[in-house]
Amino acid sequence: MEFTNAYLKDLFERVSKRNAGEKEFLQAVEEVLLSLQPVADKRQDLVDAGVFERFVEPERFVIFRVPWINDKGQLVVNRGFRVQFNSAIGPYKGGIRFHPSVNQSVIKFLGFEQCLKNSLTTLPMGGGKGGSDFDPKGKSDREIMAFCQSFMTELFRHIGADTDVPAGDIGVGGREIGFMFGQYKRLANEYTGVLTGKGLSYGGSLARTQATGYGLCYFTQEMLKTMANTSFAGKTVVISGSGNVAIYACEKAQSFGAKVVAMSDSNGYIYDKDGIDLAIVKQIKEVERGRIKEYADRKKGAIYTEDKDGSKGIWSIKCDIALPCATQNEINLESAKLLVKNGVMAVAEGSNMSSTNEAGQFFVESKIMYGPAKAANAGGVATSGLEMSQNSIRLSWAFEEVDQKLKGIMEGIFHKIHDTAVEYGQPTNLVMGANIAGFKKIADAMKAQGCC
Q: Does 114 bind ligand NDP (CB under 6 A)?
A: no
When binding is defined by CB under 6 A, the residue of 166, 193, 203, 241 that contacts ligand NDP is 241
Size of interface with ligand NDP, in residues (CB under 6 A): 24
Q: Does 169 bind ligand NDP (CB under 6 A)?
A: yes
129 catalytic? Reply is: yes
Site stretch for ligand NDP (CB under 6 A), options 10-18, 55-63, 138-146, 324-332? 324-332
Binding mask 255-274 for ligand NDP (x = CB under 6 A): ----------xxx-------
129 closest CA partner among 89, 173, 85:
85
Least CB distance to ligand NDP at residue 50 (A):
30
Helix axes 399-423, 379-393, angle to 10 degrees: 130
Comparing CB distances to ligand NDP, the nearer of 43 and 374 is 374
Closest residue to ligand NDP in the complex (CB): 243
DSSP 3-state percent helix, strand, coil across the chain (nearest 5): 50, 15, 35
Element holding 279 (H helix, E strand)? helix 278-282
Burial of 104 (0-12, 13-18, 19+ CB in 10 A): middle
Q: Does 205 bind ligand NDP (CB under 6 A)?
A: no
Residues in the chain: 452
Q: Report the relative pairing of strands 75-86 and 60-69 from DSSP bridges.
A: antiparallel
Least CB distance to ligand NDP at residue 262 (A):
13
At position 175, the amino acid (one-letter code) is: R
When binding is defined by CB under 6 A, the residue of 5, 150, 352, 390 that contacts ligand NDP is 352
Query: How many Cβ atoms from other residues are within 10 Å of residue 421's Cβ?
Result: 22
Could you give phi then psi for residue 327, rounded to 5 degrees?
-155, 180
CA–CA distance, 299 with 288 (Å, rounded to integer) = 17
Could you give phi then psi for residue 266, rounded to 5 degrees?
-75, -5
Q: Does 183 bind ligand NDP (CB under 6 A)?
A: no
Least CB distance to ligand NDP at residue 307 (A):
8
Least CB distance to ligand NDP at residue 222 (A):
18
Site stretch for ligand NDP (CB under 6 A), options 47-55, 162-170, 335-343, 415-423? 162-170
**Partners of 172 in the beta sheet?**
169
Interface of this chain with ligand NDP, residues 370 to 399, rule: CB under 6 A: 377, 380
Spell out the alpha helix ranges (H) of 121-243: 141-155, 174-188, 208-228
Tell me the residue ranges of DSSP E strands in 359-422: 369-371
Q: Does 166 bind ligand NDP (CB under 6 A)?
A: no
Site stretch for ligand NDP (CB under 6 A), options 36-44, 153-161, 179-187, 347-355? 347-355
Choosing from 93, 108, 117, 129, the catalytic residue is 129
Least CB distance to ligand NDP at residue 71 (A):
21
Q: Does 131 bind ligand NDP (CB under 6 A)?
A: no
4 contacts 38 by C-beta, under 8 angstroms: no
Comparing CB distances to ligand NDP, the nearer of 49 and 250 is 250
Site stretch for ligand NDP (CB under 6 A), options 19-27, 44-52, 319-327, 437-445? 319-327
User: What DSSP string describes 321-388?
Assistant: EEE--S-TT-B-HHHHHHHHHTT--EEE-SSTT-B-HHHHHHHHHHT-EEE-HHHHTTHHHHHHHHHH
Burial of 289 (0-12, 13-18, 19+ CB in 10 A): exposed
Residues 6+ away with beta carbon under 8 Å from 25: 19, 104, 105, 106, 108, 109, 112
DSSP-derived secondary structure letter, 50: T
Least CB distance to ligand NDP at residue 135 (A):
9
Site stretch for ligand NDP (CB under 6 A), options 72-80, 237-245, 417-425, 442-450? 237-245
Least CB distance to ligand NDP at residue 170 (A):
4
Q: Does 323 bind ligand NDP (CB under 6 A)?
A: no
171 closest CA partner among 95, 85, 73:
95
When binding is defined by CB under 6 A, the residue of 171, 193, 372, 433 that contacts ligand NDP is 171
Where does this chain bind ligand NDP (CB under 6 A)? 168-171, 212, 241-246, 265-267, 310-311, 325-327, 350-352, 377, 380
Residues noted as catalytic: 129
